Amino acid sequence: MIDKRVASLAVAVAGVRDGDTVLVGGFGNSGVPVELVHAVLDLGVRDLTVVTNNAGSGETDIAALIRERRVRKIVCSYPRSSGSVWFEKLWRAGEIELELVPQGTLSERMRVAGAGLGGFFTPAGADSPLAEGKEVRVIDGRRHVFEEPLKADVALIKADRADRWGNLVYHSAARNFGPVMATAAALTVAQVRAFVELGELDPETVVTPGIFVDRVVVA
Amino acid sequence: MSELASEPSAQRLDKRQLAARVAQDIPDGSYVNLGIGLPTLVADVAPPDREIIYHSENGILGMGPAPEEGTGDPELINAGKQPVTLLPGGAYFHHTDAFVMMRGGHIDITVLGAFQVAANGDLANWATDDATLPPAVGGAMDLAVGARRVLVMTTHTTRDGRPKLLRSCTYPLTAAGVVDRIYTDLAVIDVTPDGFVVREVVPGLSRDELQARTGAPLRFATDT
């Protein structure tokens, strides 16, 4: 029998190791799997590469991981939201590496990783310094830069409800990076508001099919 | 404001008037993405008789105004991370689809802020030469290359009076040759194969005065 439901946050993040690449869902404070990130913090793992749109704000979740020196490198599109004080502090001190990626490129790099593709050419950033050192090709008269897939060891995402097969539905704009991140990691963990019985989710509206999800936990 | 102190007669547009001027040019039925900052004002002043569908990069179409205090959904925010609402008919989707819409030419119009715009349509709106700030780009590059029409909304000059409209950008580019039209507090200017062409100037400002505040040659539409 398939049952992806786990009873605790500690079990949900078991197996995350030093040096892992971790995808963390969320856009600003919307859709951030706060409790899962704190469970990773409690594990004590370090040298993480964190892939997420913003670099955390205030003192919780991603900001807390950064503050506690658990993050070696952050891959994101916008690390300068109001309140990203810990990221800025460590970045100025040279204690954290930043790979800046245009937001659409960030999500598409995870999409191609999840889709088993070898990368893609995009016009986004092709005329900017972010294309330096990358292959550029003119396609249909326009410069495109080659971007590689972005695969991860772990994805931590937040959804609204899950069944025991790991099918997910989301809540409003909290969906953001969740569905694409779920496809791009070896281990995908979703925290949800509630579990539902198998068959309760309308199959026409399942957003992330359970094949992409390994563990679900209520938080 | 200081650089116009010597021309008290020039009727510089304030932010709201500038937003209203941009909104005038957004047709009924458009799919529109407004950049963070100044451009978000455009939705507040758009003519009420037009149905405009606002897109947000975090997966929203049919975005509505800010909720009444205390009634909002904390997960429902715009690109600037401010609370918003969803209009009847609106939809949620995930990030990759949001950027398919942006890069794939499905957004009719984007309105973006700018640090610099060049006479060939190059846009610089993500990084300056200030090395003390970490770089941050967000969705600006995807929007700039993908929206069918790229409108820039900006003050004509920097706070210390330097031109933002230039022969070529000195800051790192967001995208090359993408800007269609620029709306400033002083003028409406098209980017054409022959450079900047001024469509409108605020009352009380002469051509020479506008040219003096611009870092590239201006032509005037009324001359052509």
Catalytic residue (one of B7, B57, B69, B200): B57
pLDDT score for A82: 82
Mean pLDDT of A180-194: 98
Nearest-CA residue of chain A relative to B102? A104
**How many C-alpha atoms does B25 have within 13 Å on its Cβ side?**
21
Facing residue for A79 by CB, picked from B99, B127, B134? B134
* Residue A99: predicted pLDDT: 97
Kindly give, in sequence order, each residue whose CB lies less than 8 Å from that of residue A143, ignoring residues fewer than 6 positions away.
Answer: A123, A126, A127, A136, A137, B176
- For chain A, positions 42-71, list CB contacts with chain B under 8 A: 55
- The domain spans of chain B are 15-220
Q: At B83, is the secondary structure helix, strand, or coil?
A: strand
Write out the two tokens for A164: 């025991």
| Spans of chain B, pLDDT less than 50 | 1-3, 5
Residue range A181-185: mean pLDDT, rounded: 98
- Using the Cβ of A125 and the Cβ atoms of chain B, whether some distance falls under 8 Å is answered with yes
Residue A106: the pLDDT is 98
Q: Round to whole Å and give the CA distance between A19 and A15.
A: 12
- Spell out which residues of chain A touch residue B140, defining contact as CB-CB under 8 Å: 102
- Burial class of residue B80, CB neighbours in 10 A (0-12, 13-18, 19+): middle
Q: What is the pLDDT of residue A83?
A: 87
Q: Kindly tell me the burial class for residue B69, based on how many C-beta atoms sit within 10 Å of its own C-beta (0-12, 13-18, 19 or more).
A: exposed
Q: What is the DSSP letter of B89?
A: E
Beta strands in A159-213, from DSSP E residues, in sequence order: 161-162, 168-169, 185-192, 194-195
Residue A60 CB-density burial (10 A; 0-12 exposed, 13-18 middle, 19+ buried): middle
Closest CA to A25 of A211, A173, A176: A176
Q: Is 3.30.70.370 the CATH classification of the domain at B15-220?
A: no
Contact by Cβ (8 Å): B65, B88: no
CB B178 within 8 A of CB B121: yes
Q: How far is CA A147 from CA A131, A183, A195, A218, in A?
A: 9, 18, 37, 35
Query: Does A73 contact chain B (CB < 8 Å)?
Result: no
Shortest alpha-carbon distance between residue A123 and chain B (Å): 6
Residue A108 has pLDDT above 90, yes or no: yes
Query: Do A30 and A159 contact (CB within 8 A), yes or no?
Result: no
Question: Cα distance from A197 to chain B (closest Cα, Å)?
Answer: 24
Confidence (pLDDT) at B224 = 58
Q: Is A178 on the interface with B (CB under 8 A)?
A: yes
Annotation marks residue B7 as catalytic: no
Put simply, the answer to whether A124 touches B146 (Cβ < 8 Å) is yes
CA distance B76 to B84: 6
The distance of Cα B87 from the centroid of its chain, to the nearest Å, equals 23
A212 touches chain B (CB under 8 A): no
Two structure tokens written together for A128: 């900017």
User: Residue A28: its chain B contacts at CB < 8 A?
Assistant: 58, 77, 81
Determine the pLDDT at residue A19: 98
- Inter-chain CB proximity B136 and A77 less than 8 Å: yes
Residues of chain B with C-beta less than 8 angstroms from the C-beta of A105: 141-142
B139 touches A: beta carbon within 8 Å: yes
* B204: closest CA of chain A, how far (Å): 38
Task: State whether residue B219 sits within 8 Å of chain A by CB.
Answer: no
Distance from CA of A117 to the nearest CA of B (A): 15
Tell me the ipTM for this assembly. 0.96
User: With 0-12 CB in 10 A as exposed, 13-18 as middle and 19+ as buried, what is B23?
Assistant: buried
Using 50, 70 and 90 to split pLDDT, how confident is the model at A81? Answer: confident
